[in-house]
C-alpha cells in the first residue's frame, strides 16, 4: 500500500475545497467545515464547508430566483441544449481527472472509475442523453370530448421547478448526471448536495458547470452531511426532491414531504436476487459473476448488487465451489494499482456494520463458507468477501441490505420456489436470471417484483429506465421517464366559441 500515490494524486489535482457554488459564484464559506476521510488510508484527505441551513437558504433562494424570474425555464429549448452541450464537451475532456478524483473519494479501483458505468465518461454520456431531450418535451392535443361546449384541450410539459438533488457516495459521478442532466434539460434549476463522504470529483464537476454559460442561480452546489441534506429536502422553496440513498433516509424524506406536496423521486436500497437455473450457459461463469459483484468493483456497495444467490439444488455444490474460486482473484490495496480489484468499505462505521452482519449470520445459524473477517494488514476498510449458505428468509443477512461483500446462497427445486424466495423481500430494485431457456427467462422476469431485472447479465444505462418497487423507491431514472419526472403537465382549455 502506498499512501504516496493517494497524496500525490490529491496534491496534483488540487481541488479547492472551502467554497459553495451559489448564484453563479464560488462563495468562500465562513461557517463550519467537516473532514472527508479517504477510505483506503483512513486519513483526512480534504475538508469541506458544512452548508447547514444558512447555506441551503442562500442556495435555494438563488435557484428560486433563477426559476421564477427566468430565463432558463422558458429559454428556447435549442438554446438550453447548446449551453448543456458545451458543458458536456468539457466533462468528456475531464474524464480522466474526474475518474482519479472519484477514486480518491471512495476508493473505487481506478480501472473501474475510468472504464465502467461509474466513470466520468459514462456521466458525460448520461448528461448528453438528457440534453438531447431538451427540445423533445412535448404535450398532447385532445379530440373534442363533448358537443355541450366548444372547448378544446392541449397539454404542455413544463419544468417542475427548483430541484434538490441529494446524492450517495458510491457512484457520485453517475448519480450527479442522472439527476442534474434531466433537471437542467427540462428547464428546472437545481441545488446539488453530494454525500459528505465524496466531494472531490463532484466539486470538480461543479467547477465545470460553474464556468459555463448557465445563467446565475440555475446550478448551485452545497456540501454537508445529513443536517444539510435535511434542510434541503424539507425547504419550502424546493418543488422536487430527487434523492438516491438509503431506504431509512428516503422514508424520512417521504414523511417530511407530506405537508407541502413536494414531488419526489427516490432511488433507495436493494436486496436483489441472482437466480441460477441448471440450464445456465455456464454455471461456472454465473457463480463467479455473482460472487464478483459482491467482492470486486465497489465490494458489494452498489444498490443493484444481487446479494442473494438462489441456485438450483442440482448445481448448488458447483456454485459454492466456483464462488470460492472467484474470491481467490480478489486483491486489495492501492486503488491506482491495476492489480487491485476491490474498493474498501466507505468508512470504519460501515466496516463495523458489515462485520456485525456477518456475526449476526453466524449467531442466527447460517453457515459461513468463507470470508467475513477484516483484512487487518491494511489501513483501509476491507472485509474479506463472505459467502453464507444454510440461510432462510427470516435471517438478518438475507432480509437486510448489508451494502458490503456478503453473498447468501439458497438452493431451490422448482421455478415457483425460486420466484417465491426471490420475492420474499421488502426490497424490489433489480435481479438477474441465468438460463438459456428464453421462455423461462421471460416468465421468471415477469414474476419477479422489481423495477428492473436482467437476463444473463445486468447493467443500467442512460436511455433505459431504472428504479425500484416496494421499499426500493419511487420513480425511475434513465430515458424518458427519467426526465418526465422533472416536468409537470399543464392542460390548457380553449373555448372556441368566444
Task: Sort residue 70 into left (φ over 0), alpha (ψ -120 to 50) or beta.
Answer: left
Q: How many residues contact ligand NAD, by CB under 6 A? A: 29
233 binds ligand NAD (CB under 6 A): yes
245 binds ligand NAD (CB under 6 A): yes
Nearer to ligand NAD, 245 or 411 (CB): 245
The DSSP line for 88-156 is HHHHHHTHHHHHHHHHHHH---HHHHHHSTTSHHHHHHHHHHHHTTTT-----EE----TT--EEEEEE
Do the Cβ atoms of 418 and 437 come closer than 8 Å?
Answer: no
Q: Which stretch binds ligand NAD (CB under 6 A): 89-97, 248-256, 314-322, 364-372?
A: 248-256
269 binds ligand NAD (CB under 6 A): yes
N-terminal to C-terminal alpha carbon distance within the chain: 79
Alpha helices in 221-375 (DSSP H): 226-233, 247-257, 283-295, 316-327, 348-363
What is the Cα–Cα distance from 110 to 335, expressed in whole angstroms?
A: 6
The active-site residue out of 50, 196, 207, 303 is 303
Query: Residues 191 to 210: which contact ligand NAD by CB under 6 A?
Result: 193, 195-196
What is the Cα–Cα distance from 121 to 464, expressed in whole angstroms?
A: 18
Considering only residues 37, 173, 249, 448, which one is a binding residue for ligand NAD as defined by CB under 6 A? 249
Is 303 a known active-site residue?
yes
117 binds ligand NAD (CB under 6 A): no
Q: How many CA atoms lie within 13 A of 362 on its CB side?
A: 12
* Contact code string over 121-160 relative to ligand NAD, x by CB under 6 A: ----------------------------------------
* Contact code string over 403-422 relative to ligand NAD, x by CB under 6 A: x-------------------
What is the Cα–Cα distance from 251 to 247, expressed in whole angstroms?
A: 6
Nearer to ligand NAD, 176 or 434 (CB): 176
246 binds ligand NAD (CB under 6 A): yes
Is 95 a known active-site residue?
no
Question: Would you say how long the chain is, in residues?
Answer: 498
Q: Which stretch binds ligand NAD (CB under 6 A): 32-40, 138-146, 165-173, 369-377?
A: 165-173
Cβ-in-10-Å burial (0-12, 13-18, 19+) of 371 comes to buried
Q: Which stretch binds ligand NAD (CB under 6 A): 10-18, 111-119, 239-247, 382-390?
A: 239-247
| Cβ 22 to ligand NAD shortest distance, Å | 18
380 binds ligand NAD (CB under 6 A): no
Q: Which residue's C-alpha cell is 453530494? A: 194
The DSSP line for 27-77 is EE--S-EEEEEETTTTEEEEEEE--HHHHHHHHHHHHHHHHHH-SGGGS-H
| Cβ 305 to ligand NAD shortest distance, Å | 9
226 binds ligand NAD (CB under 6 A): yes
Do the Cβ atoms of 377 and 383 come closer than 8 Å?
Answer: no
Point out the residues that are catalytic.
267, 303
Name the residues that contact ligand NAD, by CB under 6 A.
Answer: 166-170, 193, 195-196, 225-226, 229-230, 233, 244-246, 249, 252-253, 267-270, 303, 401, 403, 429, 468, 473
Amino acid at each position: 500500500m502506498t499512501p504516496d500515490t493517494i497524496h500525490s494524486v490529491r496534491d496534483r489535482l488540487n481541488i479547492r475545497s472551502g467554497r459553495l457554488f451559489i448564484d453563479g459564484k464560488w462563495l468562500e464559506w465562513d461557517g463550519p467545515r467537516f473532514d472527508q476521510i479517504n477510505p483506503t488510508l483512513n486519513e483526512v484527505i480534504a475538508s469541506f464547508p458544512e452548508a447547514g441551513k444558512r447555506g441551503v437558504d442562500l442556495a435555494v433562494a438563488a435557484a428560486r430566483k433563477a426559476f421564477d424570474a427566468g430565463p432558463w425555464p422558458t429559454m428556447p429549448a435549442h438554446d438550453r441544449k447548446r449551453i448543456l452541450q458545451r458543458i458536456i464537451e468539457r466533462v468528456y475532456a475531464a474524464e480522466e481527472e474526474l475518474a482519479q478524483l472519484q477514486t480518491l473519494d471512495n476508493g473505487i479501483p481506478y480501472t473501474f472509475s475510468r472504464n465502467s458505468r461509474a466513470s466520468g465518461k459514462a456521466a458525460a454520456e448520461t448528461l448528453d442523453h438528457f440534453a438531447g431531450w431538451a427540445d423533445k418535451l412535448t404535450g398532447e392535443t385532445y379530440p373534442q370530448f363533448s358537443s355541450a361546449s366548444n372547448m378544446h384541450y392541449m397539454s404542455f410539459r413544463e419544468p417542475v421547478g427548483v430541484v434538490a438533488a441529494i446524492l450517495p457516495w458510491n457512484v457520485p459521478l453517475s448519480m450527479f448526471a442522472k439527476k442534474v442532466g434531466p433537471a437542467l434539460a427540462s428547464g428546472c434549476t437545481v441545488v446539488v448536495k453530494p454525500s459528505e463522504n465524496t466531494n472531490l470529483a463532484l466539486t470538480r464537476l461543479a467547477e465545470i458547470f460553474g464556468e459555463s454559460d448557465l445563467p446565475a442561480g440555475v446550478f448551485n452546489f452545497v456540501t454537508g452531511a445529513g443536517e444539510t441534506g435535511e434542510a434541503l429536502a424539507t425547504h419550502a422553496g424546493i418543488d422536487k426532491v430527487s434523492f438516491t440513498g438509503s431506504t431509512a433516509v428516503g422514508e424520512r424524506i417521504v414523511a417530511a414531504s407530506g405537508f407541502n406536496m413536494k414531488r419526489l423521486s427516490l432511488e433507495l436500497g436493494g436486496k436483489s436476487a441472482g437466480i441460477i437455473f441448471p440450464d445456465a450457459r455456464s454455471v461456472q461463469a454465473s457463480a463467479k459473476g455473482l460472487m464478483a459483484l459482491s467482492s470486486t468493483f465497489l465490494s458489494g456497495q452498489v444498490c443493484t448488487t444481487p446479494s442473494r444467490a438462489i441456485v438450483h439444488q442440482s448445481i448448488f455444490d458447483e456454485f459454492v465451489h466456483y464462488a470460492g474460486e472467484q474470491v481467490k482473484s480478489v486483491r486489495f490495496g492501492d486503488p491506482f494499482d491495476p492489480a487491485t480489484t476491490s474498493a474498501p468499505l466507505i468508512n470504519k462505521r460501515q466496516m463495523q456494520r458489515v462485520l456485525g452482519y456477518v456475526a449476526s449470520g453466524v449467531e442466527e445459524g447460517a453457515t459461513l463458507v468463507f470470508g467475513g473477517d477484516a483484512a487487518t494488514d491494511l489501513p483501509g476498510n476491507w472485509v474479506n468477501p463472505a459467502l453464507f449458505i444454510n440461510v432462510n428468509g427470516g435471517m438478518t443477512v438475507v432480509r437486510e441490505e448489508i451494502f458490503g461483500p456478503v453473498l447468501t446462497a439458497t438452493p431451490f427445486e422448482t421455478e415457483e420456489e425460486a420466484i417465491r424466495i426471490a420475492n420474499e423481500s421488502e426490497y424490489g430494485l433489480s435481479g438477474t436470471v441465468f438460463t438459456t431457456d428464453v421462455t423461462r427467462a421471460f416468465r421468471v422476469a415477469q414474476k419477479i417484483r422489481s423495477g428492473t431485472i436482467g437476463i444473463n447479465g445486468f447493467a443500467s444505462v442512460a436511455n433505459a429506465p431504472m428504479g425500484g418497487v416496494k421499499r426500493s423507491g419511487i420513480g425511475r431514472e434513465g430515458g424518458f421517464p427519467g426526465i418526465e419526472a422533472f416536468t409537470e403537465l399543464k392542460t390548457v382549455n380553449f373555448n372556441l366559441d368566444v
